[in-house]
C-alpha cells in the first residue's frame, strides 16, 4: 500500500511537469501535439480519401485497391519471403546431408555443390535495388567531386565544361538507357562475367543521370571559398594536394553534401525506370513484371511497391540529411 501511495504523487508531479510551460512559453505536451498532430491528421485524411476514391476506380485489372487491401498484400509478400527462406534452408540442409553421405561413401573425392535457384522475393528485390543505386551513386560521386573541384578552382576549366554540363544534365534516363545498353553489350564481353550486364546498365544509367547535382554544388562550394584562405595557401606554398585536402574540401564540404543529397534522390528515381527497361532485378522489374502479369493481385502488389519506393527514398534522404548536418558542424540546413 505504501508503495502505491507514494507512486501516485510521483505520477501526478510528472504529468504536471509536462503541462508546465517551457522557456518558449508552451508546455511539452503542446509542443509534441503541435509537431505530431498535423502529420497524423494529414495521413488519416489521405487514407480516408484513398479508401473512398479507390472503390470508384475500375481498371482492366480490377478495382483500385484501398489501404486495407494493400496492407494485406504487404503481409502476403512478407509471408512469401519467409516461405522462400524456409525452402532455401531446407535445400541447404538436404545438400549438407547429401554431402556428408557422399564423402562417407567416396572418401577423398570432391563434392559438387548445387546452387539454390529459387525466385528472388520482394525483400530481395529491395536490397538489390539499394545495392544498384549505391553503386551508381558512388560512381557518380567519385566522378563529380573531382570535376567540381577543378571547375571551382579554375575558371577556364569551368568555362570549358559548363556547356557540356548544361546539355547533359537534363537528359532523361530513357534516352541514356539504349546508348548504355549498346556500349555495355559491345565492351563487356566475358565468358565468366563478374557482374550481370543488366546490373551494369542500370548502375551506369544511374551514374550518368545523378552526378550533375553533386558536380554543380561542389563547383559552387569551391568557388565560394574565402579568398583569404586561398591566399594563405599561396603564401605558405602548399602543394595542390595539400591545398585541396586541407582547405578546399573542408571549406566546401557543406555544399558537397548538399549536392550528394540531391544526387541520391535523383539516383533513386532514375533507378526504377532503368530497372524496368534493363530488366535488372529490383523494384523496377518487380513493378513491370506485376504489370505484365495482370493477375487479380497485381494492382495491390504494385501499390505496395509504390509505397516502398517512396518510404525507402524518404529514408535515404533523411540519412543524407543527417550526414549533411554532421558535415556542416551543426549549422542549420533548410
SS (H, E, C) the chain: CHHHHHHHHHHHHHHHHHHCECCCCCEHHHHHHHHHHHHHHHHHHHHHHHHHHHCCCEECCEECCCHHHHHHHHHHHHHHHHHHHHHHHHHHHHHHHHHHHHHHHCCCCCCCCCCCCCCCCHHHHHHHHHHHHHHHHHHHHHHHHHHHHHHHHCHHHHHHHHHHHHHHCCCCHHHHHHHHHHHHHHHCCCCCCCCCHHHHHHHHHHHHHHHHHHHHHHHHHHHCCCHHHHHHHHHCCCCHHHHHHHHHHHHHHHHHHHHHHHHHHHHHHHHHHHHHHHCCCCHHHHHHHHHHHCCCCHHHHHHHHHHHHHHHHHHHHHHHHHHHHHHCCCCCCC
- Can you give the residue ranges of every domain in the chain? 64-105, 123-327
Burial (CB < 10 A; 0-12, 13-18, 19+), residue 296, is exposed
pLDDT by 10s per residue, the chain, length 334? 444 444 455 656 565 655 556 555 566 667 677 778 888 888 899 999 988 988 888 887 778 888 999 999 999 999 999 999 999 899 989 988 888 888 888 887 888 888 888 888 999 999 999 999 999 999 999 999 999 999 998 899 999 999 999 999 999 888 999 999 999 989 988 877 888 888 999 999 999 999 999 999 999 999 888 888 878 878 888 888 888 888 888 888 889 999 999 999 999 999 988 888 888 889 999 999 988 887 778 899 999 999 999 999 999 999 998 888 887 655 555 4
Task: Write down the pTM of the prediction.
Answer: 0.81
Q: Taking Cα atoms as reference points, which of 130, 119, 291, 287 lies closest to residue 199? A: 130
Could you give the percent of the chain with pLDDT greater than 70? 89
The model's pLDDT over 201-251, given as tens digits with 9 standing for 90+, comes to 999 999 999 999 999 999 999 988 888 887 887 888 888 888 888 888 888
Domain over 123-327 is classified CATH 1.20.1250.20: no
pLDDT of res. 140? 95
Amino acid at each position: 500500500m505504501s508503495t502505491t501511495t507514494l507512486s501516485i504523487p510521483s505520477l501526478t508531479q510528472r504529468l504536471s511537469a509536462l503541462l508546465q510551460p517551457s522557456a518558449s512559453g508552451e508546455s511539452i505536451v503542446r509542443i509534441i501535439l503541435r509537431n505530431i498532430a498535423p502529420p497524423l491528421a494529414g495521413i488519416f485524411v489521405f487514407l480516408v480519401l484513398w479508401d473512398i476514391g479507390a472503390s470508384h476506380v475500375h481498371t482492366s485489372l480490377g478495382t483500385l485497391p484501398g489501404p486495407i487491401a494493400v496492407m494485406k498484400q504487404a503481409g502476403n509478400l512478407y509471408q512469401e519471403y519467409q516461405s522462400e527462406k524456409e525452402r532455401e534452408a531446407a535445400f541447404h540442409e538436404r545438400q549438407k546431408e547429401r554431402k556428408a553421405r557422399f564423402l562417407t561413401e567416396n572418401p577423398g573425392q570432391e563434392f559438387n555443390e548445387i546452387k539454390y535457384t529459387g525466385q528472388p522475393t520482394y525483400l530481395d528485390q529491395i536490397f538489390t535495388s539499394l545495392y544498384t543505386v549505391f553503386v551508381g551513386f558512388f560512381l557518380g560521386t567519385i566522378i563529380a567531386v573531382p570535376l567540381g573541384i577543378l571547375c571551382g578552382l579554375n575558371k577556364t576549366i569551368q568555362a570549358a565544361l559548363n556547356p557540356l554540363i548544361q546539355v547533359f544534365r537534363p537528359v532523361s534516363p530513357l534516352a541514356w538507357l539504349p546508348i548504355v545498353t549498346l556500349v555495355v553489350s559491345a565492351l563487356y564481353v566475358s565468358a565468366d562475367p563478374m557482374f550481370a550486364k543488366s546490373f551494369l546498365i542500370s548502375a551506369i544509367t544511374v551514374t550518368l543521370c545523378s552526378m550533375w547535382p553533386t558536380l554543380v554544388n561542389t563547383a559552387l562550394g569551391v568557388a565560394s571559398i574565402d579568398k583569404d584562405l586561398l591566399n594563405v595557401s599561396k603564401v605558405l606554398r602548399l602543394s595542390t594536394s595539400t591545398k585541396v585536402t586541407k582547405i578546399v574540401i573542408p571549406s566546401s564540404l557543406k555544399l558537397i553534401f548538399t549536392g550528394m543529397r540531391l544526387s541520391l534522390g535523383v539516383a533513386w528515381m532514375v533507378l526504377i525506370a532503368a530497372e524496368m527497361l534493363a530488366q535488372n532485378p529490383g523494384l523496377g522489374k518487380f513493378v513491370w513484371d506485376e504489370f505484365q502479369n495482370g493477375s487479380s493481385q497485381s494492382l495491390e502488389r504494385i501499390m505496395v511497391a509504390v509505397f516502398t519506393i517512396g518510404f525507402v527514398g524518404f529514408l535515404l534522404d533523411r540519412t543524407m540529411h543527417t550526414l549533411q548536418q554532421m558535415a556542416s558542424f551543426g549549422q542549420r540546413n533548410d
